[in-house]
Amino acid sequence: MTRLLNSLMPASNSYMCARIQTAEPHIPRNAGLAELRKAAARCKACDLWKLGTQTVFGEGSEHARVMLVGEQPGDKEDRQGRPFVGPAGAVLDRALAAAGIDRDDVYVTNIVKHFKWEPRGKRRIHKKPNVVEITACRPWLDAEILVVRPEVVILLGATAAQGILGRSFRVSQSRGQWLDSDIAKHVMATGHPSSILRAQDDDTRHEEMARFVDDLRKAAAVFHRLKAAS
């Protein structure tokens, strides 16, 4: 399993793992999603378990052809223990529907499984995970990929894309393109739905949503082709 996990990791991450504690020792061998989820609930491989309410593991069919990978759970996801159930999840649902992908056909997860936040008054404000936390948590995503074996992986936003494709990867330069990666046959990076929510005005928000749906439509075309051929 270690060899398989290493083969899924960019060289820079393998190097980092030599120095950073990761979740790998906590991952049960030959486990299905239910067992992985249970083990992840006890993970303390980085300090984020102290901040989040609970581990938010991925969700969806073990046989999903499409996997969507975001950054980390948000406030609502942290409270409910499920990925993409907050405002960004609602945007994602609308975009998937517009692109012709049923959410039941996809597996949704994050590259970091605990909510990282800082207080602002009574609110918990999202804080971007750092390279130590991303590297620590990466083995959980690798384990999900090994079980689900998705044919299409969509990386949502820069944190997920750089966590998988390397820190020099720029979503702004390569979004919507099919990329070479060991994690799946068809890999694409696009924006994160939360960035659509942060758009400065309605026109920008509509434009960003249209771009997001266009990218998902490319994934939908591959998904429907694979489905028809099986």
- Which residues in this chain contact ligand SF4 in the complex, by CB under 6 A? 23, 40, 43-46, 48-49, 55, 112-114, 133, 136-137, 140
Beta bridge partners of 155: 69, 189
CB nearer to ligand SF4: give 43 or 220.
Answer: 43
| Residue 63 φ/ψ, nearest 5 degrees | -110, 15
Cα–Cα distance measured from residue 52 to residue 50, given in angstroms and rounded to the nearest whole number: 6
CB nearer to ligand SF4: give 140 or 212.
Answer: 140
CB nearer to ligand SF4: give 46 or 158.
Answer: 46
CB 23 → ligand SF4: shortest distance, Å? 4
Cα–Cα distance measured from residue 223 to residue 44, given in angstroms and rounded to the nearest whole number: 36
CB nearer to ligand SF4: give 96 or 158.
Answer: 158
Burial 212-221 (b: 16+ CB within 10 A, else e): bbebbebbbe
CB 146 → ligand SF4: shortest distance, Å? 17
The residue among 64, 86, 69, 80 whose CA lies nearest residue 138 is 69
CB nearer to ligand SF4: give 55 or 194.
Answer: 55
CB 44 → ligand SF4: shortest distance, Å? 5
Residues 92-98: contacts with CB within 8 Å, 24+ apart?
92/68, 92/156, 92/193, 94/209, 95/193, 95/209, 95/212, 95/213, 95/216, 96/216, 98/213, 98/216
Give the rounded distance of the alpha carbon of 182 from its chain centre: 16
CB nearer to ligand SF4: give 89 or 139.
Answer: 139
CB 52 → ligand SF4: shortest distance, Å? 7
CB 186 → ligand SF4: shortest distance, Å? 26
Tokens representing 228?
A: 């028809």
Tokens representing 61?
A: 């069919």
CB 107 → ligand SF4: shortest distance, Å? 17
Cα–Cα distance measured from residue 126 to residue 75, given in angstroms and rounded to the nearest whole number: 8
